Structure 1
Amino acid sequence: MRTSHLRRALRRRRLRGDCGSGSVEFAVLATVVLALILTALQVGLYFHARKVAQSAARQGVEAGRRFGSGSGDAVTQAQAFLARYGGSVRTPSVSAAGSTDQEIRITVRGSVATLVPGLSLDVVQHADAPVERWTTP
């Protein structure tokens, strides 16, 4: 009888030693899972902003390469696209630097909205194409 009482006491002591370890394990695991979720969201925001900037540059190039248009029309069209759809690109700037009489080049720069304070991600996308023009044989 004495042995079973001793065994029960030892078992209770062993179980009491693990008391609260589940909470600590959950806290550590929750932190890791939350970091992974925030990282996945931030990567999604970055690639979305990149795609919007690329689309704005392409819209600008398509407007600027038409016959009779110029680089000013291209910049205006890219800025209009960013005004409509560019919420994920913060402080965007559009430039036609590098354009020539034969080729139009539009560059869109901006920063990406971030979830982490102090993190700064920039996006730079460009598109170029030949300008439509009349030629004689």
Structure 2
Amino acid sequence: MTVPARKVGRERGTSALEFSIIAPVFLLLIFTIIQAGLYLYARNTAQSASREGVSYLRLAGNNSDPDAFISAAEDVTEGYATKIGRLKNVTAVGTINTKTGRVTMLVIGDAVLPLGGSVEIQQTSEATLEQFRGDLRDTP
């Protein structure tokens, strides 16, 4: 036997061993990237839903009873987060502070991950309450 022939015989199965070591690490990396992407998507959707709710709540300023808008805004927000973002157990909490002229919407929901488990997502948006005030100047 020559020396190169012996080397070939000793290296049989090396690629299978290398594959068995690298494949789990590579698959873990791929699934981690997928999980992170789905988490960021759910977080972005919760933020968009809270912005939707805030934009709805901002219109309550000219109403005689601004607090009546809160439940409708919460329903709009929860529907948006459930349908678009596929969040589960969504809860929206809206507040209107007429003294400071600010409205806020908090969205809390669970993002279900494909490898099992779920992560709680919380996002808040805040904006100024829109109020129309007529011209208060004296006109001649």
For normalisation by structure 1, the TM-score amounts to 0.80
Q: Is the 8 A contact 2:90 2:108 kept in 1?
A: yes
Q: Are positions 1:48 and 2:41 aligned together?
A: yes
Aligned AA (2:128): P
Q: Deviations over 1:38-81 (max 9, x none)?
A: 11111110110011000100000111110325222221210221
Deviation at 1:91, TM superposition (A): 1.9
What is the aligned partner in structure 1 of residue 131 from structure 2? 133
Deviation at 1:113, TM superposition (A): 2.0
Q: Which runs of 5+ in 1 are unaligned?
A: 1-5
Q: Are positions 1:65 and 2:64 aligned together?
A: no
State how far apart, in whole Å, the 2-side matches of 1:83 and 1:115 are.
17
Aligned with 2:106: secondary structure? strand
Q: Which runs of 5+ in 2 are unaligned?
A: none
85, 95, 99: which one pairs with 2:93? 95
Q: Is the 8 A contact 1:42 1:115 kept in 2?
A: yes
Q: Is the 8 A contact 1:103 1:129 kept in 2?
A: yes
Residues 16-35 of structure 1 aligned to structure 2 (within 5 Å) = 16-35=9-28
Residues 81-92 of structure 1 aligned to structure 2 (within 5 Å) = 81-87=80-86, 89-92=87-90
Aligned with 2:107: secondary structure? strand
Aligned with 2:90: secondary structure? strand
Deviation at 1:21, TM superposition (A): 1.3
Runs of 4+ in 1 over 6 A off after TM superposition: none
Q: Are positions 1:76 and 2:69 aligned together?
A: no
Structure 1 vs Structure 2: percent identity of aligned residues? 26
Q: Compute the RMSD of aligned alpha carbons.
A: 2.0
Q: Alignment length, in residue pairs?
A: 127
Aligned AA (1:123): I
Q: Is the 8 A contact 1:38 1:115 kept in 2?
A: no
